[in-house]
Chains A and B, each alone.
Chain A
C-alpha cells in the first residue's frame, strides 16, 4: 500500500515537471498565436475600424453575411460571403496552391531522384539547389520582377531574340499572364524545398531493395512506379501538406510581384487590403477568420486522409 501511494507521488511529480517544461511554450504560443487569432475572430463580429480599435461594437455575423430588406421590399445580401472580390481571391488562392504544389512536387521528386544517385560533386549540387529557397522571398520577388519586366527584363529579351515573341510581354502587369508569372517564381523558389523533403524520403528506402529489383530484372521505370513511389509516398504526403499550407496563405510574393492584380489577389492579400488599405478592419478580420477556417478544414481533412493511408500500408 505504501509503495502504491509513493508511485502515485512520483507520477504526480513527473506531471508537474512536464508542466513546468511545457509552460513557457504554452505561454509563448498563447501570446503569439492564440491571442491574435482570438482577437481577430472577435473583431470579425464587430464594426471595429482601424482608427478606433477599441470602440467597435458587436454586430454579430454582419461582416460575413447580412440580409437587409429595403423599404421598397427588395432584399439585399451583403458581407464577405457574397463578395465577388472575396470569392475571386479564394479561387485564385486555390488555383495557385494546387498548380504550384503539383509542379513543385513533380519537379522536386525528379530532382530528388537525381540527387539520390551517386555522382561526383553531389554535395555541391545539393547545396546549390537550395539557393532559391534560401533567398528571402522579397528579394527573389524583386529580382524576378526585373527579369520579367516588359522593357528591361532579360526573359523578354531572350524570348524576343530567339524569335518566340515579337515584342516583350508585361508578364506581371497583364491580367492574362500575372498568375503564370507568380506560379513560375513560386515553383522556382519552392521546388528545392520539395526536393529536399523528397530526398529525405528517398534515402529512407534501403538500397538493397533496388538491388533485389535489379536481380529480378525490373525495368527502371517499373522500379519507379512499383517500388520507389509507393515507398516514398508517406514522406511525399507530409511534404505536400507542408507546401499546401504554405501555398494557401501565400502573401509576400504576390504583394511584391503583382500588387493589385485581380488575377493574382489571394485570400491573404485581400484581407490585408481590407484591414489596412480600405480601413474595413472588421471586414478584413472576417476574411482572415475565413482563411483560417479554410486552412484548418483542409489540414484536418488531409491528416485524416493520411491516417487512413498510414494504417493501410505505411512504411516498413
Chain B
C-alpha cells in the first residue's frame, strides 16, 4: 500500500561504503525484486528499507512521509528472513501472534487473524507445533504467516527460498506469487541472487552491482534491452554469449552480445563457423556449444530439440534484430 522513494541513499559501515547513492521509486502494490551477485548490497538495501539499518545519507519516504529515523515496528513493514527467524521456544500460533499480543490487540482479533493467515497458507494443522518439529517448507510458511498477520503495507523478503530444496523452491515461488495476487495492494520487495526467481516473480527488477543500481525495469525490458554488459550477462539462462576482438569489430562495437536462441544454424553464407564441442540436453531444449575461436564456446539453442554430434562443423548466423552491441564502457550502442 506504500509508495517508497529513495533519494540518493548511501550506507556506510565504518569506512566501507556499501550503498553508493541509490535513487529508486517503488510503486504502490508493486512486486519489486532486488537482484545481483553476492556483495552487491541487495540485502543491505532491504535492511535499510526495513529500518534494521539506518541510512547514512539521503532520504527515504513511505507515501511521502520521511522515514529515515522511524524505527522498524512503526514503518508498517513485515519481513521474512532467509533463516525464517522463528522464535524456537514458541509454537506456531504464538510465533504468529507474538507481535500482535504486544500491540495489545484483543484475543479474538488475534485468533481470527492468525487463523485466517494459517488458512491462507494451509498451516492450520501445525499451529500447536514448535518450529523444530516442522520441515523447511513449513517453517517458511510460518514465517510468511507471521508477516501476513502483521497486516503490513510493505512486505519484505530476504532470500526466502535459498534454504529450500529445488522442488520446494519452485512450489514456494508459486505460493509467493499467489500471495502477491491475493494481497494486491501490498508493496512487496524481494531480495534474491537467483535471476530466475527475479524474472518469474517480479513486476519490476532492480539489478544491483557494487552498491549502485545498474538497471530497473520489467523482466522483459531487462532481458531485451539491457543497459549494460553486466545486466545482459546476469539476466537470462543460459548466459548471453559475448564476443570480443575481431568478432565484435565486424559489428562496430567493443563487445557483441547475442542470446543462444537468437543464433540460427545456416549452411550458406554463415557469419561464424565452428565445431561442436558439447551438447547439453536440459529436457525442453538442447544447447549446442560451438567453438568458433572466441574466448568461450558459443552457446546456441538448437531448434526442435535436435542434438548435434561432437566435432561436427556448423555454420552460424545471428538474428540481426537481436544483436546487443556494447561500447568500451559496457554501455549499449543503439
Contacts and interface: CB of A to CB of B under 8 A. Distances in A.
Q: Which 5 A-B pairs have the closest CB atoms?
A: A217-B73, A216-B99, A316-B88, A208-B85, A212-B85
A269 B89 CA distance: 43
A231 B88 contact: yes
Interface string A204-226: 00101101101111110010001
Contacts of B77: 215
Interface residues of B, number: 26
Nearest to B103: A217
Contacts of B119: none
B89 A215 contact: no
B85 A209 contact: yes
Interface string B77-90: 11101110111110
Chain A: interface size category = 20 to 34
Interface of A: 206, 208-209, 211-212, 214-219, 222, 226-227, 230-231, 313-316
12 contacts: A209-B85, A209-B87, A211-B85, A212-B146, A214-B73, A216-B150, A218-B98, A227-B87, A231-B88, A314-B132, A315-B88, A316-B131
B85 A217 contact: no
Interface in B179-195: none
Interface string B32-51: 00000000000000000010
Given A217-B73, A231-B89, A316-B132, A212 B102 contact: no
Contact of A219 (B82, B102, B130, B150): B102
B79 A212 contact: yes
B125 interface: no
B168 interface: no
Interface of B: 50, 52, 71-74, 77-79, 81-83, 85-89, 98-99, 102-103, 130-132, 146, 150
Given A206-B83, A231-B88, A215 B50 contact: yes
Contact of A208 (B83, B99, B130, B150): B83
Given A231-B89, A316-B131, A216 B102 contact: yes
Contacts of B79: 211-212, 215
Given A206-B85, A208-B81, A216 B73 contact: yes
A204 to B, nearest CB: 11
A196 to B, nearest CB: 23
B147 to A, nearest CB: 9
Given A208-B85, A215-B77, A218-B99, 5 more contacts: A212-B86, A215-B99, A222-B102, A230-B89, A316-B88
Contacts of A206: 83, 85
A225 B83 CA distance: 23
A226 B98 CA distance: 10
A227 to B, nearest CB: 6
Nearest to B50: A215
